[in-house]
Amino acid sequence: MTNDNSTPSRRVAVVGAGITGPVLSLCLARLGFEVDLYEAYVRRAQDVGSFVNLAPNGRAVLERLGLADRILEQGRAASSVDFANHRGRELARNPESTTNIMRGELSGALREAATGDGVKLHTAKRLVALDESGDGHWRLGFEDGAHAEADIVLGCDGVNSATRRLLLPDAPRPTYTGVVGSGGRSEIGAAELPVDGRFHMVFGLRGFFGYQVVSPGVVWWFENHQETRERTFAELAEIDDARWAAALADRHRPDPAVIRRVLNAATGPVGRWPVHEVPPLDTWHRGDAAVLGDAAHAVAPHLGAGAALGMEDAYELALALHRHPTAPQAFTAFEESRRGRVAAMAKQARQTGAVMTPDRWIARAVRDLMLPMAIKQGVRKGTEAYSYRPSPWPVQVG
């Protein structure tokens, strides 16, 4: 680590190779750090069938790193996000372009880019222990009995972060948002739905549904609905895919027929998971170790912005470690610069979630009335949530 562009010598262990981890590892490797990236899985069950919407702020990070073309070619671009209510009435169109990309493809392409830049990726390494060795090093212990050492440890291991639990044992646990999310892929007749380059969102009566026709006859979709009683990931995974899709179709019976058509044509695995958020933590770091991305601040998914927020974090933390003489100074500066942004996103996500599927008709009517104005205003203001743009990459000397 350095602030004078001399060669840094510190070894960094990054835990978690989802989205934040590979971007952070790549940035640090480019800044001269020696980076080991540890990932619990070879392939995660949660990745199955689900895609993320990569917002413009996330794409800006990829562009700044020269990765946009190779990563985004795995995804499907949409030129607008179109909103309709449960009666099928078109409410508004947000002309913000966006890209949907399968989670596994995104993570895989980012891992490949990171290893291409010299990051050492270790899969099937689940962190279970983290100890300060007393001489300024960290000792990491993995489920398979292996150990590793590092000068700096950065936890990018998601909402149920082991790094957070081990580093900040008093930090509050993630809380269930009352939402169950699902995602999948369907095959329908090519003539039934046009490939229109739009990401369609429907405020259903009992659930929120989004879909994009990504190629003739192929639809990617997601669904979010409220379930008061929390079911674990394992409990949800036990349900047969076809039964789950059929239950979702039934839930959307009062909504536009296209939703049931898509759900009844689901092919392959259907992803589903209980959605958690991480309450605000007092701090994101201890000594020379920190958490970032979802591990530090998982927000409700209603803005479709968590992945992009993780990429922002990765870029900003790498620059902070480059600029500040010690890791704790870098972490303090990073937290100061990021807390406001993260809190604003969490608030906006919660507000968006609250108006998605209200029970009362009056609340739905107000939502339908306000949405076009809110979107117009958002577009005029440059859509605050997506407005982050990374500063220029530091020029390396020597």
Ligand X SMILES: Cc1cc2nc3c(=O)[nH]c(=O)nc-3n(C[C@H](O)[C@H](O)[C@H](O)COP(=O)(O)OP(=O)(O)OC[C@H]3O[C@@H](n4cnc5c(N)ncnc54)[C@H](O)[C@@H]3O)c2cc1C
Q: Contact residues for ligand X (CB under 6 A)? A: 15-21, 38-41, 44, 52-53, 55, 126-127, 156-158, 162, 181, 273, 275, 293-294, 301, 304-308, 310
Question: Cα–Cα distance between 388 and 296 in angstroms, integer?
Answer: 19
> Which tokens in the block code for residue 273?
């998971």
Nearest residue (CB) to ligand X, 5 versus 231: 231
Least separation in angstroms between residue 49's CB and ligand X is: 12
Residue 258: CB minimum distance to ligand X, A: 20
Q: Dihedral (C-alpha) 89, 91, 97, 102: value to the nearest 10 degrees?
A: -50
Q: Taking the complex as a whole, how short is the minimal distance between the CB of residue 250 and ligand X, in angstroms?
A: 20
Cβ 92 to ligand X, closest distance in Å?
Answer: 19
Number of other CB atoms surrounding residue 329 within 10 Å: 15
Least distance CB 342 / ligand X (angstroms): 11
* 55/214 with CB nearer ligand X: 55
Half-sphere exposure of 256 (CA within 13 A, CB side): 19
Answer yes or no: are the C-beta atoms of 334 and 317 closer than 8 Å: yes
Residue number with CB closer to ligand X (258 or 309):
309
Nearer to ligand X, 127 or 342 (CB): 127
- CB 147, min distance to ligand X, A: 14
Q: Which is nearer to ligand X, 65 or 307 (CB)?
A: 307
The CB density around residue 257, as the number of other CB atoms within 10 Å, is 10
Structure tokens at 197: 């380059």
Cα dist. 380→376, 383, 387 in Å?
Answer: 6, 7, 12
Q: Pull the structure tokens for residue 329.
A: 């100074």
Phi, psi at 176, each rounded to 5°? -75, 130
Spatial CA neighbour of 327 closest among 132, 170, 166: 132
Other CB atoms within a 10 A radius of the CB of residue 362 amount to 8
Q: Show the tokens assigned to 222.
A: 């997601």
| CB closer to ligand X, 48 vs 305 | 305
Minimal distance in Å, beta carbon 262 to ligand X? 17
The nearer residue to ligand X, 8 or 209, going by C-beta atoms, is 209
CB 296 within 8 A of CB 308: no
188: left (phi over 0), alpha (psi -120 to 50) or beta: beta
Instruction: State the Cα–Cα distance between residues 302 and 393, nearest whole angstrom.
Output: 31
* Least distance CB 7 / ligand X (angstroms): 28
The residue (of 154 and 319) whose beta carbon lies closer to ligand X is: 154
Q: Residue 352 Cβ, how far from ligand X at the closest point, in Å?
A: 12
Q: Which lies closer to ligand X via its Cβ, residue 17 or residue 318? A: 17
DSSP state, residue 280: P
